[in-house]
Amino acid sequence: MPDNLTLDEIARRAGVSRTTASRVLNNGPNVRPEVRERVQRVIAETGYSPHPVARSLASQQSRVIGLVLPRRTEVLFNDPYFPRLTQGVAQACNDYDYTLALFLLQTAADEEKLYPRLSRKGLLDGVVVQAGQIGDDLIMRLLTSNLPVVVAGRPFHPGEVSYVDVDNVTGAYTGVMHLVKLGHQRIATIAGEMETTAALDRKAGYCQALQDCNLPIDESLIVEGYFTEIGGYQAMQRLLPQKPEAVFIASDTMALGALRAIHEAGLRVPQDIAIVSYDDLPPAMIAQPQLTTVHQPIHEFGIKAVELLLEVIKNGPIPPRQIMMETSLVIRQSCGAATREVVNGLNGF
Amino acid sequence: MPDNLTLDEIARRAGVSRTTASRVLNNGPNVRPEVRERVQRVIAETGYSPHPVARSLASQQSRVIGLVLPRRTEVLFNDPYFPRLTQGVAQACNDYDYTLALFLLQTAADEEKLYPRLSRKGLLDGVVVQAGQIGDDLIMRLLTSNLPVVVAGRPFHPGEVSYVDVDNVTGAYTGVMHLVKLGHQRIATIAGEMETTAALDRKAGYCQALQDCNLPIDESLIVEGYFTEIGGYQAMQRLLPQKPEAVFIASDTMALGALRAIHEAGLRVPQDIAIVSYDDLPPAMIAQPQLTTVHQPIHEFGIKAVELLLEVIKNGPIPPRQIMMETSLVIRQSCGAATREVVNGLNGF
DNA sequence: ATGAAAGCGCTAACAT
DNA sequence: ATGTTAGCGCTTTCAT
């Protein structure tokens, strides 16, 4: 498929005008079947494929969308969450014939440098932005740039923006309720970074569950930490002196660290401390014992984000839409429940 | 920065021709300093930024490069290797003012669908392709498309292609020699998938080390497996009956699984079995005990791949260049060496 | 040093 | 149903 082939050349070889060739190329109407077929044959024979940039310039749309992962994720790229999200987004891009441009904003300098490229209409038809930390104004800036934007996760300033989120409150609520039902009273939580809405919402779900069960909310049982293995390890070390019976941990990766701290202290899971975590990513299966965890549909989440973005691109940003995705509890060993549910979907890793 | 601003408009406001405005924009020569400054002021005041697509069409280069991760990586996205590589590539793209397009070829169908977009000159100035499996002809196809290509990892059919690789043979050799020096004789290996050059090379390094030490190569001590936790787990289960004193494992993630199998068998690391693995990614620090492992400079590897690609874009594919990157042994607990080296660089995770 | 003019390869409004 | 004609917004000869 030689690159020097142009639509003009195709038209010439098929004995039609470039317009007609273009119509055939784009499955447009008003072409006699026999002519259409003739042009299609030439296209097939030559292996012609239209120049995407020329097409973009003329049609004013690039069929490229961006995925923006704010700099907080430099740390978090060690969390399988982001690869999984990226996979979902990439798959949706394939399915809808878009190309995915990836922007990792690892430093403030990166952000400044990349911002014009992000906001400038032309290269990108729209962007999916991972919800950032509380201080981040990236999303707000992007919104004023009149480029179609969808946020993955609940943004801090919801304003007039469309976003997809997982119902973190209910997810956490369900996880904690599970621990209550197993008879635990002194339930602690290792929350994530309070600069993220995900951590805030999961903490809220934890508190709500305790309240609904008439259990006291004990601030000394609530520990924050980074969403990393080390973060979970350190948080659990701080928590151990409080002698919790059970802990709800805001991510699988943190749970890995927490387990390490518990084992080092000579305690066992679930006999001495029961654990429920969040994500249901590969670490949940690798952990010893395997983790009872709140499953998030991260892959589908990425797909939905793209689908919502395509809608915004098509129909404009008004009215903003919010899509909420559901979680489900996956019961394994770390909670100590007798039930041992068979779990599918994590075989390949 | 309104998008409807064009270079014509900038030129008009600055009282010059579009050509001159373009010269200023691109830091071209032959502009009077005072004129240059005037145009620059208008650009700054208006927040003008050139339309990237129009620019691409006229200049015949998009300043977009692709990163292609073949479908094998669907499984491997659970290995921190790929996020790390992606990060390196993304950073280099930022540094050199390129935009990164990510192509995840998760199925054969994806590959077919995306291939035209990959090979067609126009959208992409070039691609970095992760070396695939032995059957993959993707790289060969891409090479015939006359799009600049660089392979990350040694490809199976080296042919006339430029690639960056880590010296896997020497890396593995060093790791195994370390075990020999610690006094071990009966050293096994958990190799990766023999469909990849990385696994082949590491196995070769293992064999070479044994030979150089006059140790026998015992086929029953060589076990293959997928580059995953489960793969390592299963491989170690098969290996345990052979009673190895030490094991060289081809990736940290596999080592995690191997540790699990060893612990389940009631054995201890390093007392009963010493381990050296490969990668030096976060799992090496999370593991209990922490892993002695062969460090690969994956991030730099991604950067080098981009730099090499930019060279190919600039100077053409001839002559093909091969860049080899060095590894280093990081000594921690799993090998049982008394030495306990302080390790930096993995703090953030 | 500056500008006029010719593309880059395509889409799309407007004839016919 | 088909073709003619303008663009899309920029870079780049080629004059001047």
A116 Cβ under 8 Å from any chain B Cβ? yes
By DSSP bridging, strand B328-330 and strand B292-295 are antiparallel
Q: What is the pLDDT of residues B299-349, one digit of tens each?
A: 999 999 999 999 999 999 889 999 999 999 999 999 998 544 434 333 333
Interaxial angle between packed helices A108-119 and B81-95, expressed in degrees from 0 to 180 and rounded to the nearest 10:
70
The answer to whether the Cβ–Cβ distance between B75 and A348 falls below 8 Å is yes
Do you know the residue count of chain B? 349
Least Cα separation, residue A217 to chain B (angstroms) = 30
Q: CA–CA separation, A204 vs A295, rounded Å?
A: 18
Tell me the pLDDT band of A7, cut-offs 50, 70 and 90.
very high
Q: What share of chain A is helix, strand, coil (3-state, %, to 5)?
A: 45, 15, 40
A29 Cβ under 8 Å from any chain B Cβ? no
Q: CA–CA separation, B15 vs A284, rounded Å?
A: 65
The one-letter code for the residue type at A206 is Y
Q: Which nucleotides of C are covered by protein (CB under 7 A)?
A: 1-5, 7-13
Q: What is the pLDDT of residues A79-111, one digit of tens each?
A: 889 999 999 999 999 999 999 999 999 888 888
> How far does the CA of B48 sit from the C1' of D6, in Å?
25
Residues of chain B (55-74) having a beta carbon less than 7 angstroms from strand D: 55, 57-59
Does position A169 have pLDDT exceeding 60, yes or no?
yes
By DSSP bridging, strand B246-249 and strand B292-295 are unpaired
Q: CA–CA separation, B10 vs B28, rounded Å?
A: 16
Beta-strand ranges (E) seen in A49-117 are 64-69, 99-104
Element of type H or E holding A85 = helix A81-95
| H helix count then E strand count, chain A | 14, 12
> Under a CB-based contact definition with an 8 Å cutoff, are residues B110 and B97 in contact?
no
The one-letter code for the residue type at B227 is F
| Across all strands, nucleotide nearest B30 (CA–C1') | C1
Residue B199 has phi, psi (to 5 degrees) of: -65, -40
Please give the pLDDT value at position B342. 39
Please give the pLDDT value at position A338. 57
Domains of chain B plus CATH, in order, are 7-59 (1.10.260.40), 64-167+298-325 (3.40.50.2300), 168-296+329-344 (3.40.50.2300)
Please give the pLDDT value at position A16. 93
Please give the pLDDT value at position B339. 46
> Under a CB-based contact definition with an 8 Å cutoff, are residues B239 and B265 in contact?
no
Burial B134-147 (b: 16+ CB within 10 A, else e): eebebbeebbebeb
| Across all strands, nucleotide nearest B59 (CA–C1') | D11
> How far does the CA of A4 sit from the C1' of C15, in Å?
31
> Using CB atoms, which residue from A52, A104, A282 is nearest to B90?
A104
pLDDT in 10s for each residue of chain B, 349 residues: 567 799 999 999 999 999 999 999 999 999 999 999 999 999 999 999 999 999 999 999 999 999 999 877 656 677 889 999 999 999 999 999 999 999 999 888 888 899 989 988 899 999 999 998 877 788 888 888 889 999 999 998 877 899 999 999 999 999 999 999 999 999 999 999 999 999 999 999 999 999 999 999 999 999 999 999 999 999 999 999 999 999 999 999 999 999 999 999 999 999 999 999 999 999 999 999 999 999 999 999 999 999 999 999 999 988 999 999 999 999 999 999 854 443 433 333 3
Please give the pLDDT value at position A73. 61
